[in-house]
Structure 1
Amino acid sequence: MYIKSLLSKYHQLFATKHLESLHLRNCSISTMTSLENVISGWNDVKQKIKVVSQKRTQNLPEPRLVAVSKTKPIEHIIGIYQKGQRHFGENYVQELLTKSFDVEILKQCPDIKWHFIGHIQRNKVSKILSVPGLDIIETVDNEKLADAINVAWKKQNNKNPLKIMVQVNTSREEEKNGVLPDDVVKLCKYIIENCENLKFIGLMTIGRFGYDCSLGPNPDFLTLVECKNKVSFDLQLNSSNIELSMGMSDDFEHAIECGSTNVRVGSNIFGYRPKKERSQK
């Protein structure tokens, strides 16, 4: 417990320094996107999710909205939290630490639920798991990473298993992370049978950028649905308990039509997001 306390203090100090630069980077962006606009964008996305969900024929719950807040100011996170948003997604380890340990976030957002949706290096696992309010890691894509998270979560003496999703490279692009569709069942089976401190809850994909939905259902979304069906059948799992995290700002409505239960939306809520420097991962 003493070591864990020291680590927590270290992360808070480190996060405070990083937060100063984060606010400086976002200063000009904040003036362009006011909190009022963010709340309006959030309401618009929520309404679209509701409308599309009611139209689909599958017997599925309304998808969870994960507000992707990377590079966005603390005050915008707090603003939509106070309106009812609870799930927030971050792609970069240091930014997740910065925000999750922020004094105002801790004070004003006690029930915030963080999703890590970026690539994970095994040497960064302990940092991610130290995050207060960590709810789901959506990007587990190999056995060694699953083992590392499983062991680290146990060392923290957490009572409940950590919820994770398996990331699938449905587009088979070399530059994308994720297990290939052919190997999804094997990885899910390994996690379920060997990682007692993890709770497998679903599959996640990013998919190929810029697909034209007028051509028909997105092949990447259909592939993820097929992976879900295969995992359910081969491992004898209830398919209704397997979530699908697919769909972002450009295609979340189409993803919902295809069966998504978890959409990750950033720009449609927070406004334009500039590219982030690689050195800040």
Structure 2
Amino acid sequence: MIVVVGSLNMDMTVRTGRAPGPGETLLGKSFMLSPGGKGGNQAVAAARLGGEVTMIGCVGQDAFGREMLEVMRGEHIDTRHIAELAEQSTGVASIVVEEDGENRIIVVPGANLVLSAEDIAGMEPVISEAEVLVLQLEMDLNMVEHAAEIAHRHGVPVILNPAPARELGAGLLSLVTILTPNETEAGILSGITVDSVDSAREAAEILLQKGVQHVIMTLGPKGALIVNKNGAVHVPGFPVQPVDTVAAGDSFNGALAVQLAKGRTLEEAVVFANAVGALAVGKAGAVASLPYLEEVERFLEESVQSHGKQ
């Protein structure tokens, strides 16, 4: 079982040629309302890839919350531990996607921030039974650290996706089995600029010194870099034409969790997760872009065949 403790947001996505500057108004090309949130995206990604997923989080007792729960249940995710709060609204994310696929996101957490360290302590029986615990940073940081402590105490591997980017103390990092930053997040966590595979490795080694066991840094179209005490391995990405990058990192983390729960090696898991991320950037939206297992297997098979013909 994969347990995801994380955010549940309704995404409001506007597509436009470019993002507006200060004081500027532009006409957009399209608008889409869709369930998301880093926790929700990662849970759905894992479920679509064959994982048995339990979600822990909070939504409001509003239309967005009801739709979020309906979507989760439709994906066969265990929603018994998603609280519905009368006094808080469901989290929302305002997303602007530019023509080249780049995005700018503002998140209003709402009910997501209500889940506390005391609440997560009551989830210890659930977390202790997990094969993998997946965490992100759109929630209360004390709660995130407490969830990691519970998992660590029970020998459950912890995947922490350190997004949105923020500085983290060694106390939390020392509880993390696998840290999955992108280049920006790695730069903030390590204190150095990450703009190449070499600087990515340098940043990852700093994070290892802070107690993380494995760093898997996502490098966009360049793939991912695995760094641990055994050294570094660069796993190339898959060339695709991006539509938007919303949920690309979430799809990667969900895929990684599924593969680790199946006992795959880190390198095997990252090859699979790179393929999932590539497929996600080829479609618009968050949950709508997350691929199913059959799509990923077909994509990997076609990539092998294509490589063999070259």
Q: TM-score range by the shorter chain?
A: 0.3 to 0.5
* Structure having the larger proportion of residues in helix: 1
Q: TM-score, normalised by structure 2?
A: 0.36
* Structure having the larger proportion of residues in strand: 2
Q: TM-score, normalised by structure 1?
A: 0.39
Q: Whose relative contact order is higher, 1 or 2, with alpha carbons under 8 Å and at least 6 apart? A: 1
